[in-house]
Structure 1
């Protein structure tokens, strides 16, 4: 059986193959309007429309936050909100013209160039990011990829996005993926590429705007299938496996609530997102060194590798080769050993509250130049001047174990499933808040209100520090739940109904990124 990541990129001929049945009519109007707007903007018909959805962390990945950098498995799910692009190839120029149906995002045009070494150059100012910066990032990623041949024809692109920026629903990944898919399609470079190839291209492209991404967002947007979450594994290689969402009694639904606090990774990454990546990688390297593991000082080590070595060899913590209905005793022991090692080797009294950069460099046994080369390719700003390795490591290992417990629960429990899943979600939120420090007061407010209004579990989704929450809610109370949370959450007061409907809504599983020739 072919692994989902190894499947070819998708082309469909109608949007009823893209969206859940109850969303097709409204989306059909939206897509038709996009075609008409393209003709008004550029004076001709587009050749196709491409799509990439946002994602929310549901089922297993409801508790998988920030462990993709550690190479542990996570399970996100594509959602209905997405970015769609009407695409028009131009053979008379190399210029890329972009417009947006939302007029607050102004049009722009740019042309790639080459440096003296013949390498592609696209001007991106990561200090002042705009919406089209992500289009430029995608173009640079495309041109750098061997499959492109280092060249692109000109393009006219018209964007329509329904994933709120900074919402924690991966709007930036959806922008980059859809843009890459537009470029691949227009240049005739889709053949021979797999979904996994597009995931890797997208990961590299998003780095062009200064974001160090672990791949969960991209995998969810590209590889997902309808009616299922996606179990994503990163070690030893990127792979994904559909996880059917079961029927329960009572039936359950997931409600996304946007805090309306912007989680802009590109501008806050140095003391939030990127800093956690450095604390994670440096912590794993230091733990491996103190355990006497056979890694070179310049190796980037992930906690997933450390756990494997502690277990005495390769253990799949992502499901391959393991009875999916059970978390084996050996896996549990591997996690226990890793957590014990973290306490012993990273949790001593002198280092428990963190290490300065100088202390960390000395502990790793490398030079300042080597530390910069390995860990500081993207800017970071340690909080209080200290890298907090111990408490971040505890979150990562405990969160990874919760992912496995979540999956076991969803595959074996019946009557107790909703309650059990909710409890795991709540423990995850506590850890994200107290150990990984990626919550905020608005997330805490919404999750607290959600539990009081009948949610079985509620937690942040996405990178944190703002963005959205996801709550596990009995389906029968969803309308009243949304109404009550809307009345109580402080930042929802006074919002027009249209904005409120975009801020809090029940979600359905969606298909992944695709090209379509709908009504063109």
Structure 2
């Protein structure tokens, strides 16, 4: 375990434990989570691990270890002194988790060493994997009754919204904490109700191909927040608690109408996808994926040229459907691909990127994997 080895190297002792959490792919249901809607993610095999030991002085330190062995250090900082805006950069993520846990009675000081292989900036939720792993580590070091995972996800959302300053929804934290292997997680964000739905693409001769465009983005600095505010304003004008309750949105002004159209139609697509997977018919969801991408591109306007090229090339080469996944403005697309077409789809995507002088994308099968937990 890289995190445990790095902990020994830095602190001269073994950690008390190692906890890890995965990145995620959202099969469908984008930008619906903060509108009280439906989402359908699954966890990836890529994980962020946190090796940790408690401190008795109430201080928190954090060290990250890069793929090349380089390290970044933060702290020591007093957990009791943590305040929103007081920590910036990458250190705001673990410190924000310590801050929100402190407010719920878990104020353990700790030394943390962080390592992992979730690609950063790829729309695969590396920041939430980090936060979820840190949360489990700090809770594991502390005493007292631990919160249910669904509640912990909301705590972590608060740490990112209020401490880091990124207006994210609840999808990513819930996926990282609650997903199980070989399933997608159907979540009704409003009620909190969850259902684990079997998803074995390989048994149907299919794979979910992830296409990391290598276009990086930061949700805290992007137009993500503008979209969220627009949805809130649209719901207000419609006299609704959220766009989850919307059906007829044509009366909205032109700047808000496309946002509402996407949310309404995307929730419908999630429900149709869930119905197909419950019927053990994953081959039927391809068109829904592509329709989702069109909506994200044209109505929600969070795609980019590289994502559009990846989707078009994959579908043109035989994918049943494809879409961007994640917050947008870069990151990763997914394609539902018959296994016997996989090599052709990969070649077509590479050729389309080369034709436009884009950096070659990273591609890999996205396999539903286990959620967060203790490793050591």
User: What TM-score comes out, normalization by structure 1 length?
Assistant: 0.68
How far apart are the structure 2 equivalents of 1:493 and 1:288? Answer: 45
Change (3 A) 1:108 1:443: same
Post-superposition Cα deviations, 1:56-107, rounded to whole Å, max 9, x if no partner, equal 012xxx2x1111121111111111111111112222x222222222144512
Correspondence 1:398 to 2:260: no
Post-superposition Cα deviations, 1:145-167, rounded to whole Å, max 9, x if no partner, equal 2x42xx322x1211112111211
Match of 1:121 among 54, 76, 83: 83
Match of 1:457 among 321, 340, 344: 321
Correspondence 1:133 to 2:92: yes
CA contact (8 A) 1:112 1:121 kept: no
How far apart are the structure 1 equivalents of 2:131 and 2:11? Answer: 22
CA contact (8 A) 2:85 2:164 kept: no
Change (3 A) 1:254 1:109: same
How far apart are the structure 2 equivalents of 1:152 and 1:448? Answer: 50
How far apart are the structure 2 equivalents of 1:202 and 1:266? Answer: 15
Q: Which residue of 1 aligns with 2:25?
A: 56
| Higher strand residue share | 2
Q: Which residue of 2 aligns with 1:173?
A: 128
Change (3 A) 1:247 1:443: closer
Correspondence 1:303 to 2:170: no
* Aligned pairs, number: 372
CA contact (8 A) 1:482 1:505 kept: no
Change (3 A) 1:247 1:123: closer
Post-superposition Cα deviations, 1:234-286, rounded to whole Å, max 9, x if no partner, equal 22x32211011145775111111111111211122xxx111111111110111
CA contact (8 A) 1:225 1:512 kept: yes
Structure 1: where are the runs of 5+ without partners? 1-30, 290-300, 308-337, 353-387
User: What does residue range 483-502 of structure 1 map to in structure 2 within 5 Å?
Assistant: 483-490=347-354
How far apart are the structure 2 equivalents of 1:413 and 1:122? Answer: 46
Change (3 A) 1:248 1:171: closer
User: What does residue range 232-243 of structure 1 map to in structure 2 within 5 Å?
Assistant: 232-235=187-190, 237-243=191-197
Q: Which has the larger radius of gyration?
A: 1
Deviation at 1:481, TM superposition (A): 3.2
DSSP 3-state at the match of 2:90: coil
Correspondence 1:342 to 2:282: no
How far apart are the structure 1 equivalents of 2:278 and 2:300? Answer: 28
Q: Which residue of 1 aligns with 2:54?
A: 89
Match of 1:111 among 77, 92, 95: 77
CA contact (8 A) 2:313 2:345 kept: no
DSSP 3-state at the match of 2:233: helix
User: What TM-score comes out, normalization by structure 2 length?
Assistant: 0.92
How far apart are the structure 2 equivalents of 1:41 and 1:248? Answer: 42
Q: Which residue of 2 aligns with 1:360?
A: none
How far apart are the structure 2 equivalents of 1:135 and 1:455? Answer: 39
Structure 2: where are the runs of 5+ without partners? none
Change (3 A) 1:225 1:413: closer
Post-superposition Cα deviations, 1:347-385, rounded to whole Å, max 9, x if no partner, equal xxxx32xxxxxxxxxxxxxxxxxxxxxxxxxxxxxxxxx
How far apart are the structure 1 equivalents of 2:179 and 2:321? Answer: 24
